[in-house]
Structure 1
């Protein structure tokens, strides 16, 4: 019965299931990022693990998740083309499950560290491979929106983790931190039962020479017969693109010297660059330490800090879905440009408001009759602290539809099929290692630089604008096979001023190039028109 049901799933049904797996993988990813911030301020947790009162140990254990995720991304880089997209994702989720179980049941620091590290390795694998898998299975006019659903799911579970943390703040005992960690174990019960019903990526199947299986999968995804025009067009186009890529293949050292015509090194650097820029907008500084910042640096009591973090996470979640309406219409490039300027403005205003509070103590007021140490003197909570909180919230509203999802979409699109898992793996590894660095220096930076710490992020965000403007081509509206054509036709690293590289709609030149690939493939002869290609 299961086999029969599996064979009957076609077209939109399969796309929904594949998107669901990507979304649940992203949910687990986002939940892991958000849940530990609440755990770190739980009194019962700190009583059981007093080592976390030491900032260095707290940072190292928190950072073990990032180190694990970095390792996981490298594993995906190495194994993604050997195991296949689907099997690699399943392997990652098995590690997630073991890691979550170890954390939930932890009574010693080594067990907690091992659990967080294994969880990180699993998340590193799935966060690399899941967007690649989805991107290789869906049509270009849906790809951006469906990938953004995954990124938005990440944000929604991040917000959920904050609300769970706030709700349990009113409870005492181990449930306050063990239950949030245990909730992670819901995700495998949602993912594993669906995995047998979804196919392997057709592009990977063609890449490893399993042509008949690839044609069957394309037929199911297109909801067309195996001899249908749309199936043959996609099959021929992907196959011709792989052969074209192989005809330009050069030794690895030549790739690293950027001597291959398809410019795989340049594309890998672009992928890594988006993730580097995402982390240095400061999102994980707030993601992991916002309750701590609000409590220790702005002066709110612990419950209010948790509540404000949850509210900020909810606005983050709502804003993330705005990207669904604009990611394909506006394009990846413009969203990164807009995001750079707006996030810089948020950090700048946050910095200046904290500075104003420091320089004019007469503007201070008491919140909950508590005083606090902002790292520079014993002051009461400044009125401008409220401005700082407001712009932390606005920051999340701006970041969500711009830098939150676009780097994951971009890395899944811009690389060639032979380098797609490598490019995505390198990009994800960049995300995690830079995230680790940001988390490590956040607390030290606030303690030593005070208000100027957020000014660093403001300057970095402004610097990202010319980088994107000069070097990043648009990937919206293109088929994945268009990417090789784009880099073959435009060897210069500079893209500004070139409409073909910056417009969010598919250029006619790429449609013509696909017609030529299909014609030259000689696999089969079918009548394919530009109108048909736009619909496929």
Structure 2
């Protein structure tokens, strides 16, 4: 049963009454967004192995890096406008416009006649996916029930590997074609995910926090009921969540917490929240996965696996493995917590990089006479590395930043996190093939060296957000939350009660006060 739900934007919504059905649609929206990025990385991994692609553009190590890294140019530009779009236009319209730009990039990339056209296409791709990815991260974190936020938002990046697996399989199949469609066909298929996302948008509601910020209180309560209690607006959990949001956003407005980037930098609490929240983006970029994500062929070459067919098959198996690990990681983040999961996997990543570097040195010194156990042992550790990366950094990338940042800086903060990620990725994706070509196994040792301080950063600065609503996380940074209702999870589990009539009376006065401002 669908219910027309006001959105406060030009993009209408007919939302299912069932919370379960709506949660599935939200997860599906998250999944198709994630697939776009995963497909792109794995597709380029496959294309960089195909002779038909390399020969058509007459590529050398520098232009391979340019073709691959140019997506991050758009990824750097996108965050400058994505936060503003999500705040002013609405979360859902921002996702829609991002998908449109992505489709433009897909069409241009498929039709590319030279390196210049291919690079321009990938700039459009990066720009569109940055806008829709950032808007989706903010939207899903604000819309999902706190009980399922880790799964709902974590999957926004977990399904990266579904897209990657599809791309790996498609490039494996088309790689044998004796025409430019060996690489054009995989490029064209990339647009299917943006189309699916656009189809889903009319059946999911606008963010309740965005609606409250725009003065649409009754509409926000309706959405909270749809995402928590099958549309029952009188449910006690719905009432508690609604009161927390009203109280917190009213406090932010009264305290003038709607800040420009300069004001954020000057305010100690806002600055702390921004720096901790945005750290997930750049950290996930520099830990070492760039090599296997975009240059698996070169990495397998250093390990002793040089057959193109074997490398393409390894690409498929790697993505299945990473998908499994990311789902395990999302479970750990939900049950164990964000901070311990991140620390554990970061330690394991450092260990793996040193082992990969050591085994690659043995192959570099001995060439084809290297023992088969060393070659396959190295490949196994490469797979372990990517698996450990997927456990934490894949789901954390979009989950952690919106949780740590309050409403006023959430869209801007996640955009800044993605800006830093894409800026670093632009450099690393361009530099990595040159580094591997010039210093080989030493590149892994260098990467492991700069990963060690990251463990200390997570241990000392990160905070735990598991099991809290976005408003309850304020207490970690502000010393107290800005609402007098008990924590939602305590109410949900029966450990705390709510005086419904008193809360309704308070809300009536607060809503009138906020609308008159």
Q: TM-score, normalised by structure 1?
A: 0.84
Report if the CA contact (8 A) 2:208-2:224 is conserved.
Answer: yes
Q: Does the 8 Å contact 1:344/1:462 carry over to 2?
A: yes
Question: Equivalent of 2:251, from 208, 221, 244?
Answer: 244
Q: How does 1:354-393 map to 2 (within 5 A)?
A: 354-359=360-365, 361=366, 364-365=367-368, 384-393=374-383
- Counterpart of 1:429? 419
Q: How far apart, in 2, do the equivalents of 1:333 and 1:521 lie?
A: 39
Work out the number of aligned pairs and report it: 488
Distance 1:239 1:307, change over 3 A: same
Which blocks of at least 5 consecutive residues in structure 1 are unaligned? 367-379, 492-504, 526-536
The answer to whether the Cα contact below 8 Å between 2:171 and 2:186 also exists between their aligned partners in 1 is: yes
Q: Distance in 2 between matches of 1:348 and 1:94?
A: 42
- 1:506–1:9 CA distance, 2 compared to 1 (3 A): closer
SS where residue 194 of structure 1 aligns?
helix
Q: Report matched runs for 1:8-407 at 5 Å.
A: 8-50=16-58, 52-53=59-60, 55-221=61-227, 222-249=229-256, 252=260, 253-259=262-268, 263-295=269-301, 298-359=304-365, 361=366, 364-365=367-368, 384-407=374-397
SS at match of 2:343: helix
1:418 aligns with 2:427: no
Q: Specify which of 437, 444, 447 is matched with residue 437 of structure 2.
A: 447
1:485-524 equivalences in 2 (<5 Å): 485-489=475-479, 522-524=506-508
Assess, with a 3 A threshold, how the Cα gap between structure 1 residues 440 and 520 changes in structure 2: closer, same or farther: farther
* Superposed displacement of residue 229, structure 1: 3.1
User: What CA deviation, in whole Å up to 9, does each residue of 1:469-513 have, x standing for no partner?
Assistant: 10000011110001222201189xxxxxxxxxxxxx989xxx99x
RMSD: 2.9
- Pairing 1:458-473 to 2, within 5 Å after superposition: 458-473=448-463
Residues 523/471 of structure 1: CA separation in 2 closer, same or farther (3 Å cut): same
Q: CA deviation at 1:292?
A: 2.9
| Alignment partner, residue 399 of structure 2 | 409
TM-score normalised per structure 2: 0.87
Residue 532 of structure 1 aligns with which residue? none
Look up the SS of the partner of 2:131 in the other structure.
Answer: helix
Select between 2-11 and 206-215 the one with higher mean Cα deviation. Answer: 2-11
- CA deviation string 1:338-361 (max 9, x = no partner): 0111011110101111223344x3
Q: Distance in 1 between matches of 2:506 and 2:3?
A: 35
Gap regions ≥5 residues in structure 2 = 5-12, 482-488, 510-517
Give the distance between the partners of 1:520 and 1:188, measured in 2 at CA.
41
Contact 1:313–1:396 (CA under 8 A) maintained in structure 2: no
Contact kept in structure 1, 2:33 and 2:132, CA below 8 Å: yes
